[in-house]
Amino acid sequence: MNSTRYTAVLSGFVALLMITSLFAPVAYAQSQQDDTQSEDDSISYRIVQGDQEVSVEPIEGDVPVEEFYDYRYPYQSRDNLSWGRAFSSQGTTQYQQEDTSILMLYEGPNGVSLVAVHDKYYENAENGTPGSSVSWEITGLPDDGEWAVIDDDYDWRNETTEKDDIHQLAEDHQAGAAGNDGEPPEDVDARLSWVWTTGRNDGMAYRGLGQDDVSITIDPAFNEESYHRYGDTRRPDEDPDDPTEGPEYNGTIDDWQVITATDDGDDFRRVWFDSLEQDVTIETVDEPPEPTVSVAGPETATVGEEVTFNTSNTTDNVESYEWTVNGTTVESTNESTLTHPFNETGTAEVEVTVSTADDQTATNSTTVEVVESEGTSTGQTPGFGPILALVALVAAMLFAVRRSNT
């Protein structure tokens, strides 16, 4: 081979080596780049009364809240699924208890609703306890929400206050309601005042709590404290009822409960409020994002070599890092990187666990194949071992070619 051809071949191999050497470390570095942290917009709910705070999971269902509540009344076609003479919720009987008001969240195909039911429905009313009266003044209703159920609402056939229930809704919170009994008190979105009889119940469902900034407050008045009650002069009727004619309406609500789903929605539990008199607030709470972490490092290392591993795609609010090598905690570090020597051959597992301020954790791991040293220097940049071997091979080939042409 003449000198010109020899030089050209040598130049080509050198160029190939340079290109290869550039890509090897870049490929390794690229594996350590941070991925974009996805935002977790999941929302949780809680109900607060004074110092009492209850985390609430919605009851989930495949039907709209109207069907879940299943309010029955007769002032409609008998072909309507809601026809009946109960004037009560028949869809929530599994949650109802005698002389008890329940509050829950229901999540159906049209969103999350606040649901309340007062007392327990009996098909044979005589088996139930006497009814009672409840009044709520509600503030903080979402502007784009709607009344899915007002029990009793039955088409507002009687536009006077002579009917048993009185519902006063602010102008911007009347969506879904069949009518209105006038303006509620100032700065109140709705005043709902219920009266029901023996073996029956009343309640409501307000849809539109799927936002991330909901804060609804209920100022309650149960039993004798309610806005109106059968058998007393406070009832704003033209002809108040004779007290002796309505004992079936003058029972009491003795307990106020929260219903929350458990076991991924397969069951539920009851939580009793401490008071029948203190305000209750239903609010959404942003859940902190679940922590994430990835770990990157070389695929191979030599015995005695100190190798560096880096974390990436890590949650911002990490408070601590715990590294282990083959299950043994590395006590010398609490950092986002680990530099560690390997003293024997084999496959080693390097694992990192990150912990956040709110006691959440995430774990990830990688493996490295540790081999006997072949004379390469300690701390050698990953990827250059094969390149040096290639250099030696090329040099040997060139030497052989040159000898064959001499």
If DSSP codes are grouped into helix, strand and coil, which group holds residue 87?
Answer: coil
How high is the pLDDT of residue 404?
A: 60
Q: Which residues are registered as beta bridge partners of 292?
A: none
User: CB-based contacts of 97: which residues, under 8 Å, 6+ apart?
Assistant: 120, 255, 257
Tally the residues of the chain. Answer: 406
- The angle subtended at Cα 221 by Cα 217 and Cα 225, nearest 5°, is 160
Please tell me the predicted confidence (pLDDT) of residue 406. 58
Q: 282: Cβ–Cβ under 8 A, 6 or more apart, which residues?
A: 45, 46, 47, 56, 103, 105, 114, 209, 214, 215, 216, 217, 218
State how far the Cα of 307 lies from the Cα of 296, in Å rounded to an integer: 11
Q: Which residues sit opposite 112 in a β-bridge?
A: 107
362 pLDDT more than 50: yes
Please check whether residue 32 is in contact with residue 311, taking contact to mean a CB–CB distance below 8 angstroms: no
Q: What percent of the chain has pLDDT over 90?
A: 52
Do residues 367 and 378 make contact, with C-beta atoms less than 8 angstroms apart? no
Does residue 400 have a pLDDT over 80? no
Distance, in Å, from the CA atom of 363 to the CA atom of 241, rounded to the nearest integer, reads 69
* CB-CB contact of 227 with 135 (8 Å): yes
Strand ranges in 124-189 using DSSP code E only, listed in sequence order: 133-139, 146-151, 166-169
pLDDT in tens, 67-93: 999 988 766 666 666 666 678 999 999
pLDDT of residue 21: 46
pLDDT value, residue 387: 58
Q: Rounded distance, CA 73 to CA 196, Å?
A: 13
Residues 192-249 pLDDT 10s: 999 999 999 999 999 999 888 999 999 999 998 998 877 655 555 545 444 445 778 8
Positions of E strands within 198-345? 202-207, 215-222, 255-262, 267-272, 280-286, 294-296, 300-302, 306-312, 318-325, 328-329, 337-341
What pLDDT is recorded for position 405? 59
pLDDT of residue 397: 66
Answer for the pair 64, 82: CB distance below 8 angstroms, yes or no.
Answer: no
Using CA atoms, how far residue 390 sits from 40, 114, 299, 387, 397, in Å, is: 48, 71, 19, 5, 11
What pLDDT, on a 0 to 100 scale, did the predictor assign at position 16? 52
- pLDDT for 353 beyond 70: yes
Please, what is the angle between helix 3-30 and helix 384-404, to 10°?
170
Q: How would you classify residue 12: left for phi > 0, otherwise alpha for psi between -120 and 50, otherwise beta?
A: alpha
Are 257 and 140 spatial neighbours (Cβ–Cβ below 8 Å)?
Answer: no
Q: How far apart are CA 285 and CA 54, in angstroms?
A: 12
Cα–Cα distance measured from residue 374 to residue 380, given in angstroms and rounded to the nearest whole number: 12
β-pair partners for 338 = 309
How many angstroms separate the CA atoms of 105 and 112, rounded? Answer: 7
Residue of 116 and 153 predicted with greater confidence: 116
Distance of CA 175 to the CA centre of its chain: 27
Kindly state the tokens that stand for 77. 């076609």
Mean pLDDT, the chain, integer: 80
pLDDT tens string 102-137: 999 999 999 999 999 999 999 999 999 999 999 999
pLDDT (0 to 100) of residue 178: 81
Q: Give the confidence band of 25 by pLDDT, cuts at 50, 70, 90.
A: very low
**Is residue 395 within a helix (H) or strand (E), and if so which, with residue range?**
helix 384-404
| Domains (range + CATH), the chain | 3-38+290-404 (2.60.40.10), 43-286 (no CATH)
Q: Specify the pLDDT at position 239.
A: 52
CA–CA separation, 192 vs 133, rounded Å?
Answer: 11
Q: Locate 130 and state its tokens.
A: 């006497």
